[in-house]
Structure formats: structure tokens, C-alpha cells
Chain A
Amino acid sequence: MIEKLPNDPPITPELIDEHGITPDEYKHLLEILGREPSYTELGIFSVMWSEHCSYKNSRKQLKKFPTTGEKVLVKAGDENAGVIDIGDGWAVSFKVESHNHPSALEPFQGAATGVGGILRDIFTMGARPVINMNCLRFGRPDSHAVRHLVDGVVGGIAHYGNCMGIPTIGGDIYFDETYETNCLVNAFSLGVMRHEELQKGCATGLGNPVFYVGAATGRDGIHGATFASEELTEESEAKKSSVQVGDPFMEKLLLEACLELFQTDHIVGIQDMGAAGLTCSTCETASRGGSGVEIDVALVPQRETGMTPYEILLSESQERMLVIVKKGREDAVQKIFEKWDLHAEEVGIVNEDGLMRVKFNGKIVAEIPAAKIADDAPIYDPPTKKPAYIDEVQKWKLDELPENKNYEEILAKLLAEPTIASKEIVYKRYDHMVRTGTVVLPGSDSAVFWLREADKYLALSGDCNGRYCYLNPKEGAKIAVAESARNIVCSGGEPLALTDCLNYGNPNKPEIYWQFVESIDGLCEACDAFSTPVTGGNVSLYNENPSGAIDPTPLIVMVGQIANQRDITTQWFKNEDDLVYIIDGLQEDELMGVGGSEYLRRIHNLKTGNAPVMDLKREKAAQDCCLKAIREGIINSAHDCSEGGLAVTIAEACFTSPSNMVTQTDKHIGAKIDLTELFAKYKRRDAALFGEQQSRIVVTINHTDEWKLKMIASNHKVSAWKIGKVGGDKLEIIAGGNKIIDAKVNDLEKIWKSALPNLFE
């Protein structure tokens, strides 16, 4: 018998609506319960059926993803994060997750708890987190509000990651008007474990005690999950209490205690309390275990007085875990948590009636079939409609653009463009060297990390160009996957699998949902092309405000493995007299990659054109060629062509590497590039220099290896063009005997390096 608590409000249509439950959903709820819900139960349904927890608007689309593969040990959706085999009994678990809404309102805590949340997802799998990355999207940094956001978000990430002792080794940042009031904060973490250390998030075994571990519960973050499933408006400011506050020190204790616990066989399951807190963790563990869970929330450690069951269940206080302990091992478990000065309270037991039963001082306040609420959430298939702007932008022709012939000036402007400029001032604030495995410091195409425990090398890259996805969601999504794979390959690795964070506007608008569906299709095609399954991730919808939605941003973090240390390759030119080649998949792109480019956007102030063409076969061939050449040992540097086009790619390769030895910082190395041949093929010089045509990699080789590279290229049916030679202290680009760019590397580097400090310091 459900007891009504004295202060519970009556269940009215208004109250139901306030909980974000539609009339149809309420009908479904009544069917499940067979009676009117209590106030507490209404709260439970509201969070479990929010987009954030139930993926009700996206689930049908997400099912399209390829999720299996011979290296997949735990696939997407089965547990908190996917797990991939990396050989010799070792595995990695990784995932990217958004914390956009909280970061927009309270950047420091929003970003910090984003990091904290993703870390718990990883160590709850049994893995020790060893790598953090983050992909950030902000508005233009000339506004004070944006700079405030950037500073807060970066500070929050640094605060949490540095304290946890997990290196933040890479990621990416874009600055574009589309993210002006809806910044994106997507945090990634990867952990390493032995296969046998894998933990499950399930509650089994009749009578096994359920423990609550970690920080005490407060009123912070109540309705965080529902809040993340709405558009941001001015009223959102008033919802600031929905933002949780992070305590990385507590999380560090929790991490160490849990890892110590995993070395024993005292537990049957563990689940972190993330979105929807205690509610979600109890429902999910019970549902996965095919069991029920009974808890008394009065036993939950609380840091505020007078909390109701509703508040305790819905709180999103951070740094908490639910642990299902084997009966009889309670004391042993207590002892481990005591060692780390943590709360570990027995709050309930596993039962076999399939119910999530919540008591408050012995009185039953909620009783819901666990599997029904976790898995029987409503699923929608929202209507789609191709937005009117699509045809408009896609019919844009290059002829409409006057050619700007001040190439050197354009190059300088692009190098100072915040999206392209050096991000040193950001990554310097992150401890990126702790755990002594960062082989390639932040700044190259991929982050490269040596997993000391397993003696394996990983390459990681996060990518997505939202502007491409706006112009052509399908091609843009394909490019996101292709580029992250290309970055892995440029570092000498082979792509293994990826995790995605799908950031969009309001899915109830058919145009937005069209973008969503199109880009999912693009992602699926690309995943198939590179044989990289999706291991999980998250969906962030409602990234929109009264002035419109963000550009669709299906962000990808690809994880690759580098087979041998000698294959590790960076983007920087190394030796005088090395030859510079382009490995080119020869995409047939009418716009030569100018559509959606930084050149078009920042120099001509146009957001138009079709996204660059991405024929996945050609892309794969270019990548295979590059990887083969790296493995043959002939590649001295490899840098993928992306934002800013060929000219920016070559300039960046001239710059000093953020070396692990400061003693080398004086070394600048230039190049003499002759693009006469390339210009003969392409009618527009500006497009050849700054277009973002895909499937291109700038590599350098020793002149004795030319024939080898040509042979490998012809075997892969891609082109390898010789474009010049490394050397000197200038970047010279020549066409038809005329110097069209002639600049000191030192000067270009200064522009590139000082752009963000000038804006932020």
C-alpha cells in the first residue's frame, strides 16, 4: 500500500505537465501502475522518461548504429560504457558525454561535474581512468560573455581532471556564432583494465544488500535530467539550482576505494549515480539483473535536513555510487570504504518481485515495476522535414565568389582565427603529463598515450565541424568520422572504435529532427566504411534558444591503437631536405572544399555552399595508403588537411612542436612549396590553397623513399603529389615561378600562437 506523505501535492494535470510528462505518457504510466501515482512516483517517471535518460526521441535512430565487432567486449547500451579489447588480456572502456546545459548556466561547475560524471561511468566498469579529453564549442570570443564561459569551462575541467590525477591530453575547440548562447561541453574519458576486472551494473541475488557509497545527498541537481531536456530560455537562469557542484577530491577517494573493492569478489554489481541519481541507478541495476530493489531513502546519508523522498530520489548530487554487495560481505566492504573515509550505508536489498520499492522510514512511498520504467519508456518517431535553407545553400557556386588574391594576408588571418589558432593557453591549464604516458603532447593531429600497465599505445582524436553538418548533415557527419579516423592514421594508428555525442536543437521541430536523422545515417555509413563500431555516447537535444538552434554537431571521439612505438608519427616537419608530398584521395568536389570552409566564413563572411564531398572509398584508400607508408617506416611527418585548407596545414607543419624538450624550442623549419601542378588542375588558386577538400594528408619523406611512396600510393589507387621540400626558415609557396606566399615561419608562428592569448589575457 502506497502511503501519501503529508506534504505531497495532489496529482493534477498542471503538476503532470510541470514534470514534462505528456497526457499520452501519463496514460501509459497509469497502465504500468494500474493506479494513480504518488508524488514521489510521478517524480521518478518524470526523470526516467526524460530525453536525457530514456532517449525517447532518439532511441529508434540510435539502433541503426553498428555496435558489434570482434574487439567489442561490451557493446553500446548494455552498460555504462562500452569496452574494447586491445590485446593480451587488456581492454579499454571509453565514452563521451555532454554537459552543455549546466555549463551554459554555470560554466565552472557545469564543466567540472561533466568531467566527474564521465569518469564515474568509466570506473564503474572496473577500469582505471587514465585519459581525459574534451571537445568544446563556444561563440565568438570577442564578446565578454563568451570569454567568461570559456574561462569558466576550461577552469572547471582543469579543476576536476587535475585533482583526479588524470591527464587531459587532447580534444578540440571551435568558436562559432552558432554556439553563442549554447556552448557545447563534451567530456571524454578512457580507462584501462584487465578483461577479468570488468564490472556489471546489475542487481542480482535475493537478499543481497544494496549499499549507497560516497558523498551525502543534497538538494542540488534535482531535475537536472529534465532540465537538460528543454530549450534554454531566460527562465533557465532561475533553474540554477539544477546545476550540481563537484568535489573532485571526493571522487578521487571514491575511485580508489572502488578500484580496491574490484580486486575482491565482495560485490555482484555497481552503478554510478549520474543523471536522475538514485532513481536511475536503482531502476537500471534491477532491470539489468531481472530483479527488484527495495531501498529506504531515510537511510541515505543527507547533507541537508528535511529532505523528502522525492528530493532524495531525484537529487543529482555528485560522487555517489550504488553497490550491490554479496550477503555476508558487508563488513569487508565497509572496511574498504572506511579506509578511504567514505560513507557506505546499507540502504536496501535485492528482491525478486521485479519491483523498485522505495520506503521512507519503513513506509512505502513508491512501488514501480523496475523493468517497465527502465525499458518500457515511450519511444517516439518525430516527423522530419527537410529545412528550406538546405537547397538554397547547396546550390551555391564557386563562381559567385570573387577571388581574393592576397594569399599571404588570408593565410595570416586564418592562422589567427580562434578555431585554427594554437590552443596552448587552454591545454597548459590541464595537467596533461600525469601518469607519465603522454607520448605526443597536445597539439598534433591525435593525442598519443602509452598505457604503461598494458604496454600499448593509443591514439585519440575528437572531431566534428558543425558548419559542414548544417550545410549537409549527412556529409558533415561522414566527415566527422572520416576526419577523426584520418587523424588516428596520421599518428600511426589504426581506428578501433568510436563514441559519439550527438548535439542538436529541439527534436520536436521537424527540420531539426531531419538534421538528426540525416546525420545518423551519415555516421552509420562512415562507421561501416572504417569498420569502427559505436561503443556508446550520449544525445544532447534542445541545444537551442529563442534565436535558434545550434548547427547540428555529432561529435566523434575515435580511439585507435598504434601497433608499434616506431609507428608513432607527428605533424611537424623534421629534417631539412625532406620531400613534401600530398597523399590525396582525389575527392571530386566541385567547390574544391570551399563550401563551409573557414576561408568562406571568415574571409568572405559567408555560411553557405555544400559541405565538402566525402566519398568514403576514396577516403579509406588515402588513409590505408598513409598507414601503410608509416608502417613501412618511410613517413617522417603526417598532417591531415582540415580547417584552413592546404596552406594552413603546411604552415602548421612548419611550426615548432610542443616538444617534450623545451631545449628544442628555437628550431624552426620552413618549406619551399611549388603548387604549379596543383593549380593547373584546380581553376581557383584560393580554393586550392584554403579549400577544405577532404581525404588529403601532407607527409614528408626522405628523398630516397620517393619510389616507395609512389608504389604504395599506386597500390592503393590514390595520388601522391610531390609539392616541395622542407628547409630554411621561411614558408615559400610558388606557382608558375611566382612567389605567392613568402613568410618567415617565425612570424607566422607568432600570429598563430598569440591569437588566443591576445583575446583572453
Chain B
Amino acid sequence: MKNKKIGVVVFPGSNCDYDCYTAAKNIINCDVDYIWHKDANPGEFDAIIIPGGFSYGDYLRCGAVARLSPVMNVVSEHAEKGKLVIGICNGFQILCESGLLPGALYMNKKLDFICEYTNIKVEQTDSPFTSLCKKDQVLNIPIAHGEGQYTARKDVLDMLENDGRIAFRYCSPDGEVTDETNPNGSRKNIAGIFNEKRNVLGMMPHPERAVDKKLGSTDGRFLIKAIGEWICK
């Protein structure tokens, strides 16, 4: 996959940057570069990953300071061109704060940080990120967050539902979406959403943590592989 390039944004406080870099590099055979948050001209990328972590310490509000970084203009322009952006965990929070995705992520319902494996159901396969999944496929992918309760106004939630922009929902191993399978109290069990054009995805679960057989699930590969295939089309 020559000349294709993926960027992993590094904010001060990002801490899943190395994991995302490694997963992208190992699964997609292309160049992967870190993009420093102060870099307003990092060049062109085919896909940008905004990794998890605690950008700027998550002081003030998760993602609230990160959105003001010079690199976020680059991300916005890149997204406007229809190129791919995936925000994972803190990356999802930053995408919501910057307005690239609607809604917000609140403190988990039980107020504590939660790190565990979850099941998520693929709601849409018609996207660059989920094209290798089957509709309703259940993916086994861990979460690790304190503020992952997805919330939006009712009209926004209806719009997301009606426009098929809900990417994943927390579910049981059999794909049942219930309150018991909702780890953080997200509205409609939402684990991830797309933007209107579906070239921007935000999700709380960490696909980059589910790519290695020796660590357990490899379901994250479906998503990362799909990104690779899409940018090489």
C-alpha cells in the first residue's frame, strides 16, 4: 500500500497513541506517522486516528482544550475533504467537543472509571470503518473510560437513529441491546456514531486493544482492516 499514510494525533496526555500506531502499522501495510498537536501543517494523510488518553489532563472537560489545538483545524479540513477520521475514547470526546460529531460524553452512570471487555453490535455496515463487518455482528472490544455516557438532545438522537448514524451499540454476547448490557448509561446504548457522510467515526471502545490473538479478542481488526482497504481503493 504505497504512498498511503495514516496519522495518529498526539496531544499532551494522549496515551493510546502507541497502541493505535502499532495496531495500524501491523494491520495496514502503509506508512503511519505521529502528528504533534502543535503541527498546523503536517502534510496530507489518508486517515487520521485521534487516540485515547487524557488530552491536557482532561482538566476543565474531556476534550475541551484539545479541540483548540492547531492540529484540530487540520483534522477538520481533512474530514471536509471526505477523508477518514476515527476518534477513539478521548478521541471521540474531542470530536464531539470540536463539533465534528454531535452530542457529548458524560460521566459514566456509576461515576467510576470502567475498564472491561464489552460486546458491541454493528448497526451499519455501509461505512468505511464497518464495511468488513456483517450487519448485527457482535464485536468483543474493551472499554476503558470514566466519561463515556453518550448523551444528546432528543431530536439529535432521533436524527442519528433515522439517518443510520449509530455505528455500534453495547449489547449482550447474543446481540441483545438491554439496560444490563449498557456499561455506562449511554442513551440508546450508543457506543459509537458517524458524521453525516460517515467518513468520521467516534467510538468509546478501543478497537486497537482487540487486535492480538495472545491478548484475547481480535475483533478490532475488522475495523482497522476496513480502514486500510478503504484508503487503498
Contact = CB atoms under 8 A, between A and B. Distances in A.
B155 to A, nearest CB: 33
B217 interface: yes
Given A439-B214, A659-B216, A660-B215, A340 B116 contact: no
A165 B115 contact: no
Contact of A247 (B57, B116, B212, B217): B57
Interface in B41-87: 52-54, 56-59
A54 interface: no
Interface in B205-231: 206, 208-209, 211-212, 214-217
B167 interface: no
Contact of A248 (B16, B23, B54, B117): B54
Interface in A402-452: 427-439, 450, 452
Contact of B19 (A248, A256, A434): A434
B140 A662 contact: yes
A248 B115 contact: no
B22 A662 contact: no
B160 to A, nearest CB: 25
Given A247-B57, A248-B57, A431 B117 contact: no
A660 B217 contact: yes
Interface size class of B (residues with CB under 8 A): 35 or more
Interface stretch (A61-69, A156-164, A717-725): A156-164
A434 B14 CA distance: 11
Contact of B115 (A433, A435, A666): A433
A565 interface: yes
A439 B215 contact: yes
B118 interface: yes
Contact of B113 (A158, A433, A663): A158
Contact of A162 (B18, B113, B209, B212): B113
B111 to A, nearest CB: 10
A438 B140 contact: no
B12 interface: yes
A164 B54 CA distance: 8
A666 to B, nearest CB: 8
Given A163-B57, A436-B19, A663-B119, A249 B13 contact: yes
A435 B113 contact: no
A661 interface: yes
B227 to A, nearest CB: 18
Contacts of B16: 165, 434
Contacts of A164: 15
B202 interface: no
A637 B212 CA distance: 22
A412 B13 CA distance: 45
A665 interface: yes
Nearest to A340: B12
Nearest to A565: B214
A498 B79 CA distance: 51
B192 interface: no
Interface in B128-186: 138, 140, 142, 144, 146, 173
B38 to A, nearest CB: 8
Nearest to B206: A433
Contacts of A249: 12-13, 54, 56-59
Given A249-B13, A438-B215, A663-B140, A430 B59 contact: no
Interface in B106-122: 112-119
B120 to A, nearest CB: 11
Contacts of B115: 427-433
B15 A434 contact: yes
A252 interface: yes
A165 B116 contact: no
B214 A450 contact: yes
Nearest to B53: A165
Contacts of A665: 173
Contacts of B53: 165
Contacts of A565: 214
Interface in A232-250: 247-250
B211 to A, nearest CB: 8
A341 B113 contact: no
Given A436-B209, A661-B140, A663-B140, A452 B22 contact: yes
Nearest to A256: B12
A660 B216 CA distance: 5
Interface in A660-679: 660-663, 665-666
B54 A163 contact: yes
Interface in B195-211: 206, 208-209, 211
A431 B113 contact: yes
A662 B119 contact: yes
Contacts of A735: none
Contacts of A430: 113, 115
A368 B54 CA distance: 43
A433 B114 CA distance: 11
Interface in A93-152: none
A390 interface: no
B114 A429 contact: yes
A340 B14 CA distance: 12
A252 B53 CA distance: 11
A661 B15 contact: no
A660 B206 CA distance: 13
A659 B117 CA distance: 8
Given A249-B54, A249-B57, A660-B217, A433 B142 contact: yes
A253 interface: yes
Contact of A436 (B12, B54, B112, B215): B215
B19 A435 contact: yes
A730 to B, nearest CB: 24
B96 to A, nearest CB: 20
Contact of B12 (A341, A427, A428): A341
B113 A429 contact: yes
Contacts of B215: 433, 436-439, 450, 660
B32 to A, nearest CB: 15
Interface in A578-600: none
A660 B117 contact: yes
Contacts of B138: 663
Contacts of A163: 13, 15, 54, 57-58
Contacts of B144: 162, 431, 433-434
Given A249-B13, A429-B115, A662 B173 contact: yes
Nearest to B119: A662
Given A249-B57, A439-B215, A663-B173, A429 B119 contact: no
A484 to B, nearest CB: 24
A427 B206 CA distance: 18
A428 B116 contact: yes
Contacts of A252: 12-13, 15, 54, 57
B208 A436 contact: yes
Contacts of B211: 436
A249 B206 CA distance: 21
Given A165-B53, A428-B116, A431-B113, A661 B12 contact: no
A604 B114 CA distance: 37
A452 B208 CA distance: 14
A436 B212 contact: yes
B12 to A, nearest CB: 6
A429 B206 CA distance: 16
Nearest to A425: B112
Interface string B13-33: 111101100110000000000
9 contacts: A162-B146, A163-B13, A165-B15, A253-B12, A436-B19, A436-B209, A436-B211, A438-B215, A452-B22
Instruction: Pick the 9 closest A-B CB pairs, nearest first.
Output: A660-B216, A165-B15, A249-B57, A662-B117, A663-B173, A431-B144, A163-B54, A431-B115, A436-B19
Given A249-B12, A429-B112, A434-B209, 8 more contacts: A163-B54, A165-B54, A249-B58, A340-B12, A435-B18, A439-B214, A565-B214, A659-B117
Interface of B: 12-16, 18-19, 22-23, 52-54, 56-59, 112-119, 138, 140, 142, 144, 146, 173, 206, 208-209, 211-212, 214-217
